[in-house]
Amino acid sequence: QREGDLTQQISRAATEIREIPARTIEEQRLRRDVASKDALYQNIQTKYENVRLQLHSSDDAITVLDTAIVPQTPTTNKSAQIILMAFAASLALGIGGALALDLMDKRFRYPEQATGELGLPIVGAVPALVTLKSGASDPEEDSQVVEAFRTIRMNLIHAFDGAGSIVLTVSSPGPGDGKSLVSMNLAMRFAELGHHVLLVDGDIRRGELHETFEVARRPGLVDYLAGVVPLDSILRETSADNLTLIPCGSRRHRGPELLQSPVLGAFIEQMKTRYDVIIVDSPPLGVGVDPFVIGSATGNMLLVLRSGETDRKLALARLRVLQRLPIRVVGAVLNGFSAEGAYRYYAHLYGYDMPEEDSPAPQLASKSADNGA
């Protein structure tokens, strides 16, 4: 019997051993199910907490400060006031911008600037010439330019106060300011009065006055100073009555040295006995010593400034050099002045325009349409 009991125990143990793998697999499956359900629970719990936090945050961020009041009357239309204020603001901004640009502009534009900054009297302002489509200049503009040079002529006569011949060097702070145009037209305006006028091309490096008056360049001033030709051989009669031209002459390397010789001063003194007005067109002040030498020989200088082009600091620096030399700067001319109506006094401002009956219009010398040279 004992053997039988042991046999049964062995049989049960064998059965249990055979069932162990199946139970192990089932246990692992159940563990996986538990882990999956636990992860799902944690995910749902996290989402729930996030939603609950958002709900509490939204409630805290919104606060009613005051209850809206229903207006008793319609809102007033203020569009006209707004437009007026916007116009005033834009006008003030525009004026302020224009003033700022004017202060930053370092070039001469108005006669008052030359008077205030250089301390020079303005003897005249020459309007800019307008070229028509045909290539010719506007006759009305020409008459304004002629009238401007007559004003300059009158002021120069008063500046010299009848003390002998008018001897004058015309120069400018830099090239392109229009000194040659001023020299030629000023000489022609003096000749109109019956004065015997001598126009000298003192720009011995790049003088071109002979081209405007259509005469030969050689012999000229340089040739006379070098002692190559006599004085009378360099005098050129022009198409303008009472106006004589001395061209610059040959291009010589010794030209600047010839200008500094005593011959130039003696030449000027000799011409004073033969002419009422002597105008010397010199090179610009910034190209060398030539204009300073010529100005010292004549003793007087007219400074030409170009509106919108001549730098104010440059002009002041050149003027300070002139002030250390025996040269009287009689005044300045603002060339290319484009202010509307500046020289429309006779024809427009008062309607006081005199028709020409007994003579043609005065001649006007112009090297270019923009008053250059």
In a domain, 2, yes or no: no
Q: Please tell me the total count of domains within the chain.
A: 1
d(CA 335, CA 178): 7
- The predicted structure's pLDDT at residue 103: 56
Q: Kindly state the DSSP code that residue 158 receives in the 8-state scheme.
A: H
* 132 and 138 Cβ atoms separated by less than 8 Å: yes
pTM for this structure? 0.66
- The predicted structure's pLDDT at residue 364: 66
d(CA 118, CA 316): 6
Q: How far is CA 97 from CA 90, 110, 339, in A?
A: 10, 18, 20
In a domain, 31, yes or no: no
For residue 274, the Cα-to-chain-centroid distance in whole angstroms is 44
d(CA 171, CA 373): 11
d(CA 332, CA 172): 9
- The predicted structure's pLDDT at residue 350: 36
d(CA 204, CA 108): 28
For 205, the token pair is 């490096």
Residue-range definition of the domain harbouring residue 232: 110-340
Give yes or no for a cis peptide into 291 (omega within 30° of 0): no
CA atoms within 13 A on the CB side of 204: 27
In a domain, 319, yes or no: yes
d(CA 220, CA 213): 14
Residues forming a β-bridge with 246: 200
In a domain, 219, yes or no: yes
In a domain, 370, yes or no: no
Q: Which ranges constitute the DSSP H helices of the chain?
A: 2-61, 79-104, 111-118, 139-160, 179-192, 209-213, 221-225, 255-259, 262-272, 290-298, 312-323
In a domain, 363, yes or no: no
The b/e string for 136-154 (b: 16+ C-beta within 10 A; e otherwise) is ebeeebbbbbbbbbbbbbe
Q: What is the pLDDT along the chain (373 residues), one digit of tens a residue?
A: 677 777 887 788 777 777 777 777 778 888 888 888 888 888 898 888 888 877 766 555 566 677 777 777 777 777 777 788 787 877 777 777 655 555 555 665 666 777 777 788 889 888 876 543 333 445 556 778 888 899 999 999 999 887 678 999 999 988 888 899 999 999 999 999 999 999 999 998 888 899 989 999 889 999 999 999 999 999 999 888 999 999 998 888 788 889 888 999 999 999 999 999 999 999 998 878 899 999 999 999 999 988 877 777 888 888 888 888 999 999 989 888 774 544 443 333 334 444 454 555 566 666 543 445 5
- The predicted structure's pLDDT at residue 246: 94
- The predicted structure's pLDDT at residue 33: 87
For residue 62, the Cα-to-chain-centroid distance in whole angstroms is 60
In a domain, 153, yes or no: yes
- The predicted structure's pLDDT at residue 361: 55
- The predicted structure's pLDDT at residue 371: 47
d(CA 322, CA 172): 12
Residues forming a β-bridge with 131: 137
In a domain, 55, yes or no: no
Residue 124 sits at φ, ψ, to 5 deg, of 170, 160
- The domain that contains 134 carries what CATH number? 3.40.50.300
For 325, the token pair is 């030399």
What is the DSSP annotation of 244-290? EEE---S--TTHHHHHTSHHHHHHHHHHHTT-SEEEEEPPPTTS-SH
